[in-house]
A = this chain, B = another copy of it.
Amino acid sequence: MSHTAELIAVGTELLLGNIANTDAQTLSKELSALGINVFYHTVVGDNPQRLRQAVEVAKTRADLIITTGGLGPTCDDLTKNVLADCFGKKLVYNEEAARRMENFFCKLHPDSGRMTENNYQQAYLPEGCVPFQNDRGTAPGCGFVAGGVRVVMLPGPPSECGPMFRDKAIPFLSDLTDGAIVSRSLRLFGIGESAAESQLREQMNAMENPTLAPYAKEGEVELRITAKAADPAAARALIAPVEADLRERFGPLVYGADVPSLEAVCLQRMKERGLTLSAAESCTGGLIAQRFTDLAGASAVFKGGVVSYWSEVKHDILGVPQELLDQYGAVSEPVARAMAEGVRRLTGADLAVSATGVAGPDPDDRGNPVGLVFVGIAWQGGGFVRQVHAVGPRGRIRHIAASHAFDLIRRKLTDLELK
């Protein structure tokens, strides 16, 4: 039997536009992977009547209702009170939840004594529920079954909601999933979404199972293959020939499947080979280093780098010759090359990358246009510089420039042509 979920997010801050409903995205992905259909997302404010109305509507069209938010003391535990009421349940005190909260509070505020009283209200949960203790915050969640509907309540903060769903709610839901939906994402760098889509259009339209869908993200393209079958192995068998076909078609543009990011692929390959990395950054302003070191385990590979925002830093620290800066300007192929070589020499790393360009909002003083970036790579005895024309606001140009640096590393490490 196929199951249908509805997500109800509770929070006036969502209706005021202070935050986006990213919990809905996270949970939808997870539910889709479990083979559970999601037909509606609903968002209501911190208002008991309207939450009640949303729950009553959801009961008529879903057999799994998942709420996010409205669990803490700031909203008087609105969600718990309304949901318990809608399903005819009392709230009862949960000793373990109270103890957990105390422990969490002490770790967070070691010097501030006891937890405030209003926090204890959160330890009241619907009778007969399965409590979901919160490992990353105070408000516990829970799950219960009533009137043929399964109800799951999760906290609103994204750092608590997703992990609690994965660790606590999925086991609670395990008997709902019959059949499996499996997705596999091929990640491409160096091709635009519309180009990828026009190449695949006919094929996509003709496909039913698996399906194929392209997604653009920050200068990259993700091709998601999704198959439905009796079990995960059968679904994966449907995916395999489609993946092989796409890899054949797009060749070196494919940098991985089900990988978290371009930089994660670089870290993995460099670790395997025992190589070290450094970066010299102008227009990216530390973003290459930041993205790379955001990965756990980056310290085995990344020695360090220089953010050479001013020309004098390029010259004084990285040793970029003054003649190059004078003759070609800071945004130029020779300076990108000298920056990569300079930081490689300075840090003794095996590989070094560099980026210098115009992130905007204005052209530079030599009239170079916004979006022009030179991205370099240097290694023992060689180097290469790629000229990039990125489009978009400042943040996007910087992101794309950094991605090109990672693409150069990836190509160098897989012996692909540098171009």
Name A's B-contacting residues (CB within 8 A). Answer: 9, 12-22, 24-32, 38-45, 47, 50, 53-54, 57, 61, 74, 107-110, 112, 116, 118-119, 136, 157, 159, 192, 194-195, 197-198, 201, 213-216, 224, 279, 281, 284-290, 292-294, 296, 298-299, 302-310, 312-313, 316-317, 346-348, 360-361, 389, 391-396, 398
Query: In the complex, which residues of chain B have a beta carbon less than 8 angstroms from the beta carbon of A197?
Result: 74
Question: How far is it, in angstroms, between the C-alpha of A29 and the C-alpha of B112 when the chains are bound?
Answer: 36
Q: Are A38 and B13 in contact (CB under 8 A)?
A: no
Of the listed residues A38, A112, A346, A360, the one surrounded by the most CB atoms of chain B closer than 10 A to its CB is A38
Question: How far is it, in angstroms, between the C-alpha of A290 and the C-alpha of B348 when the chains are bound?
Answer: 23
Question: How far is it, in angstroms, between the C-alpha of A309 and the C-alpha of B304 when the chains are bound?
Answer: 5
Q: Are A159 and B393 in contact (CB under 8 A)?
A: yes
Subset of 7 A-B contacts with CB under 8 Å: A20-B20, A41-B41, A74-B197, A107-B391, A159-B392, A286-B289, A303-B310
Q: Are A17 and B29 in contact (CB under 8 A)?
A: yes
> Out of B192, B213, B298, which one reaches A109, CB within 8 Å?
B192
Q: Are B296 and A285 in contact (CB under 8 A)?
A: no
Question: How far is it, in angstroms, between the C-alpha of A31 and the C-alpha of B107 when the chains are bound?
Answer: 41
Q: Are A294 and B29 in contact (CB under 8 A)?
A: no
Question: How far is it, in angstroms, between the C-alpha of A307 and the C-alpha of B292 when the chains are bound?
Answer: 12
Q: Are A50 and B40 in contact (CB under 8 A)?
A: yes
Q: A51: shortest Cβ distance to chain B, in Å?
A: 10
Q: A409: shortest Cβ distance to chain B, in Å?
A: 16
Question: How far is it, in angstroms, between the C-alpha of A39 and the C-alpha of B42 when the chains are bound?
Answer: 10
Q: Are B32 and A17 in contact (CB under 8 A)?
A: yes
Of the listed residues A26, A43, A50, A224, the one surrounded by the most CB atoms of chain B closer than 10 A to its CB is A43
Query: A74-B197, A286-B307 known; A16 and B32 CB under 8 Å?
Result: yes
Q: Are B39 and A14 in contact (CB under 8 A)?
A: no
Query: A13-B215, A38-B15, A391-B107 known; A305 and B293 CB under 8 Å?
Result: no
Query: In the complex, which residues of chain B have a beta carbon less than 8 angstroms from the beta carbon of A30?
Result: 17
Query: A107-B391, A292-B285 known; A308 and B312 CB under 8 Å?
Result: no
Q: Are B118 and A201 in contact (CB under 8 A)?
A: yes
Q: A281: shortest Cβ distance to chain B, in Å?
A: 8
Q: Are B21 and A17 in contact (CB under 8 A)?
A: no
Q: A283: shortest Cβ distance to chain B, in Å?
A: 8
Of the listed residues A74, A192, A288, A296, the one surrounded by the most CB atoms of chain B closer than 10 A to its CB is A74
